[in-house]
Structure 1
Amino acid sequence: MPTRDRASTAHRARYTVLRRDRLPTSSRGALPTAYSSESNRTYHLHQLLGKGGFGEVYLATPAPRGGLPTQVCVKITERLSPWLRESYFAELLYRQARALRILDRFVVVDGTRTRYCLVMEYAEHGDLGAWLASKGAQPERFVRRELAGILTVLDVLHRGQALHRDLTPFNVFVCEGEQLKLGDFGIATHQLSHRGVTADAFNLFNVPTEIAWGKVRRWQQRDDIYQVGLIAVMLLRGDITSPIRSRDVRKLPCSDQLKEVIHRCLGVRGKRYEAAGELIAALRHSSTEPGFSRVRSLAGKRVSFTGFLSRPRSEAMAAARRAGAIVQSKPGRSTDVLVRGRTNVLQIAGAVGGLKVMEIRRLAATGHIVKVIGDGQFWKLVKSRRRR
C-alpha cells in the first residue's frame, strides 16, 4: 500500500490541479487563471479569441512575466494528440523565427477533467484571413518576402521528413511588423518514406482536388506545396474565399515568373515542386528563357509544337511527319524537339511561356534536355527533307 500511495502521488505531481479560486466561473468552463507547474507561472485569461474543434484560445497575461511578452495566447484543449504534436514540433522549430513560438506547455487537472494547455506567442493582427479582410491585396514584393519566410520553416520540416498538412490562412498568423508566421502543428506528422502518409486529416477547402475527391489517399510534401501556392494567391488577391483554378493564374496581378511558380504549385500533382527547398530555389532564381538550338534533321525525332506558327498547325504537323518525325501533342520525357512559334501573351505565364515551355524547363531541371527550334528553322528542315 505505501508503494502504491507514493506512485499515485508521483503521478499527480506531473499535473496541475486547480485551486478553488481557479475553478471555472462561467457555464462554458472557461478558466479565469491557469497555473503552470512547468514554469511556476500563473496565466490570467482575459478574452476568448477563438474556439473550434481544437479547443479554445484565450488572450492572457503571465505572472510573473519574466522573459515572456506582456500578452500571450493560451490554447486549451481536451485532446492529447494535437497537444503532443504541437509541443513536439515547437521544440523542433524553436530556433525558426517564422514559426509561431510556444512559450510554455502544461496540463491542468480539475477533478476528472484534464485539459492540455499551450502558451503561444500573441499574433497581434490575427490570422491571415482576418488580416487580409482589412488590408486587401498585397504587392508582389511583400508576397515573395513573406512566402520565403514561411518556406524556411516548411523547409526544416520537409528536410526532417515531416509534413504540416494544414497550411491554411487560419494557421498563418500576422505578428508584429506585419510579419507572417506559421503555426498550428496539431496534425503535422513525420513520414517514413517519400510515399507520404495517409490523407486522413485535412481542411477540405484547402487541399488538392485529387485528395478532396478521394482519388489520392496519400499526403506528400508536394501537397504542402499546393497549400503554399494557395496562400500566395490569397495574398495577391486579398481574398481567401474565391476559388482558384490553375488556368486562372494568368489573371493574377504579379510578374510572369511568379505566375509560373504559382501555376506549378497548383498544377498537375506529378509536376509540382516536390518539397519546400525546390520552391525556395524557384522563387530566388528567375526562369531561364530556353534558347534556340541547331537541329540537322527531324527524322526519327519526337516533335511538339507551341505558339503561333507562320502556317496552320495542321500543315506543320503533316510536314513534320513527312520529314520522318513523330509528332506529340505535348512535350514529355521522350520529346526531342520543341518547335516554338510566336508567343501567345494570354498563356499562363504571359511572355515567359505557356504550359509547354514551362514543361521543358521542368524537364531540363531533371536532366532531360529538349531542343528548341524556331518556326523558320523548322520549315527549312522539312523543305530540305522534301528535296532529298
Structure 2
Amino acid sequence: MDRRVSAMLGRLPPMPDSPGPPSDSSAATTRTRSARAPVRQAPPLLAPAQVVTSPETRLRYRVERLLGEGGFGQAYLATRLGRSPVVPEIVCIKASERIDGWVREAYFGLLLDGHPRAIRVFDTFPLIKPDGHVLYCLALEYAPHGDLRAFLHRSARRWPEATARREIAGILQVLGKLHRGQMLHRDLTPLNVFVCDGRCLKLGDFGIVRHQSDRRGIAAGTMNPFTAPSDILAGAAPKWQARDDVYQVGQLLGMLVKGDAQERIRTHEVRRLPCSDHLKEIVYRCIGERRKRYETADELIDALRNPPAPLKAGVLRTLKGVHLAFTGILSRRRRDAVRAARRAGAIVHGGPSVRTTVVVRGRPNPLQAAGREGGRKLLEMKRLREKGHRIRLLNEAQFWRLVGRR
C-alpha cells in the first residue's frame, strides 16, 4: 500500500529507520481503485539543511526534516529565511515530481485563499534540480498538531458534541464552496483534516478534487478506500457525487464523538455513539443508504444547526383512502393491524414513500438505528417531510380507535 504521513503533520520526532510510519502519524492510501501493486518508498526529493529559493516570490526556505510522503510526493518541515509580511516563519514544503496535483493544489490555494478553514498555500514554484529534473513545490500552512487521525490516536479522547458540531460545520463551509462551484473533494479523510491551534480543524490536500459537468457526478477512479462509501468501492455506484463527500464528512463527525479515527464508523455502531439522538440521526443519514443522504454540504450544515421538530401525533378522522405505513413494536401482531387498516379503507405500504400520508407508530425498538426517534422508517418520514411531503403521524391507540369506527 502507498505509505503516506499527512503533509502538514506537526511535532513529530525524526523519521525512524523502520519501514512503518511513526507512531504518532497516519498512513494514507489515496490511490487509483484499479491499482494493485504496492508503491515503494521514493528516494528523498529534498535534503535536511537544503535551502530552496522560490523564483516566484524570491523567498528562501531551509528544509528541516521530512514530515511524510505519499501519492502527492513528499512533505517537509521548513523555515522561511529572510522577511515576509505574508509567509510565516515555519511552513510545510510539499514537493512533487508530478505537475498535475501541483497545479490543482495551487489553483485551490488561490480559490480558497484566506478561508479560515482551509490550509493556506503561501507560495507555489518550480525548482530545477542540478540534473535538469523539475520539482514542483508548494509552501503551505503548517498545522502544529498534525492530522486528525494522529491527533485522536495520541489524545485517546472523544470530542464534546458541541465542539464536534462546530468544527465539522467549519469544514463543511469549505466543502460547501466547492459544491456550489460543481466541484467534488473525494478525499475527506481524517488524514486530510488538520488540527491547528485551539483545536481548530482545517481542510487540506485538494490534489484529487475534480469539477463535474452536472450533478450526475464524475467517474469514481482515484479514492482513499479508508472512508470511501462501500457502494463506490464495490462498483455499484460508478460515479462519485456530492452525497459521497457527505458520507465522508459523516465519518469524520462520528470519529470525533467516538474519539477514534482508526476505523470507519458502521451504521450498526451509530446507536452506541456517545452523543445526542439528533446527532446520531445526522451521522446515520450521512453514512446510510446513498439515495437518502444529504445531497450537499449546505444541507448538512442546515441539519447540524437546526434540530427537527419533535415528532407529535396528529389528528385524523378516518383511514379511508390514506396510504399508511407501520413502524415500531405494536401491542398486537403486525398482520392483524394490516388487516384492520385495509378493512378501514387504508392502503398499506411496507415503509414510508412519496405516496405515504400516514405513519402509525408503535413502541420504539431499542435496537433501532439512531435513538428513540431514529428508526429507519421515522428517519425516512422526516426526510420526506423535508422534501415537502405531508405525512401525518398517529400513535397506536389512535389507530385502533379509527379502525373501530368503520
- The TM-score normalised by the length of structure 2 is 0.86
Q: Deviations over 1:333-378 (max 9, x none)?
A: 1111100122334422222331111111110111111111111111
Report the equivalent of 1:241: 262
Structure 2 residue 186 is matched with structure 1 residue 165: yes
**Equivalent AA in structure 1 for residue 133 of structure 2:** R
> CA RMSD of the aligned region, Å?
1.5
Report the equivalent of 1:105: 124
Question: Would you say how many aligned residue pairs link Structure 1 and Structure 2?
Answer: 360
- 1:305 positional shift: 0.7
Matches within 5 A, 1:272-351: 272-351=293-372
Report the equivalent of 1:118: 138
Structure 2 residue 289 is matched with structure 1 residue 268: yes
- 8 A Cα contact 2:251 2:264, kept in partner: no
- 1:29 positional shift: 4.1
CA distance in 2, matches of 1:361, 1:294: 18
Structure 2 residue runs without a partner (length 5+): 1-41
Structure 2 residue 44 is matched with structure 1 residue 28: yes
- 1:218 positional shift: 0.6
- 8 A Cα contact 1:344 1:350, kept in partner: no
- 1:40 positional shift: 0.4
**Equivalent AA in structure 2 for residue 259 of structure 1:** K
CA distance in 1, matches of 2:76, 2:214: 38
- 8 A Cα contact 1:171 1:182, kept in partner: yes
CA distance in 2, matches of 1:279, 1:89: 22
CA distance in 2, matches of 1:90, 1:27: 27
Structure 2 residue 74 is matched with structure 1 residue 56: yes
- The TM-score normalised by the length of structure 1 is 0.90
**Equivalent AA in structure 2 for residue 88 of structure 1:** Y
Structure 2 residue 156 is matched with structure 1 residue 140: no
Worse overlay, 66-75 or 274-283: 66-75
CA distance in 2, matches of 1:281, 1:369: 20
Q: Deviations over 1:146-195 (max 9, x none)?
A: 10111111111111111111001110011122211000000011111011
Structure 1 residue runs without a partner (length 5+): 1-25
Query: Aligned to 1:185, which of 206, 215, 222?
Result: 206
The DSSP-based 3-state class of the residue aligned with 1:258 is helix
CA distance in 2, matches of 1:205, 1:350: 27
The DSSP-based 3-state class of the residue aligned with 1:146 is helix
Moved beyond 4 Å, runs of 4+: none
Query: Aligned to 1:73, which of 75, 92, 113?
Result: 92
- 1:324 positional shift: 2.1
The DSSP-based 3-state class of the residue aligned with 1:177 is helix
Report the equivalent of 1:227: 248
Higher radius of gyration, 1 or 2: 1
- 1:27 positional shift: 6.6
Structure 2 residue 176 is matched with structure 1 residue 155: yes
Q: Deviations over 1:228-277 (max 9, x none)?
A: 01111111222222342212210101000000001010011111000000
Q: 1 or 2, which has the higher helix percentage?
A: 1
CA distance in 2, matches of 1:147, 1:252: 16
**Equivalent AA in structure 2 for residue 178 of structure 1:** R
The DSSP-based 3-state class of the residue aligned with 1:129 is helix
Query: Aligned to 1:364, which of 385, 391, 398?
Result: 385
The DSSP-based 3-state class of the residue aligned with 2:304 is helix
CA distance in 2, matches of 1:174, 1:243: 19
**Equivalent AA in structure 1 for residue 335 of structure 2:** S
- 8 A Cα contact 1:75 1:117, kept in partner: yes
- Aligned pair in 2 of structure 1 residues 235, 377: CA closer, same or farther (>3 Å)? same
Report the equivalent of 2:65: 47
- 8 A Cα contact 2:227 2:264, kept in partner: no
Q: Deviations over 1:1-22 (max 9, x none)?
A: xxxxxxxxxxxxxxxxxxxxxx
The DSSP-based 3-state class of the residue aligned with 1:333 is coil
Worse overlay, 294-303 or 150-159: 294-303
- 8 A Cα contact 2:114 2:120, kept in partner: no
Q: Deviations over 1:264-320 (max 9, x none)?
A: 100111110000000000000112123222222222222111122232222111211
The DSSP-based 3-state class of the residue aligned with 1:130 is helix
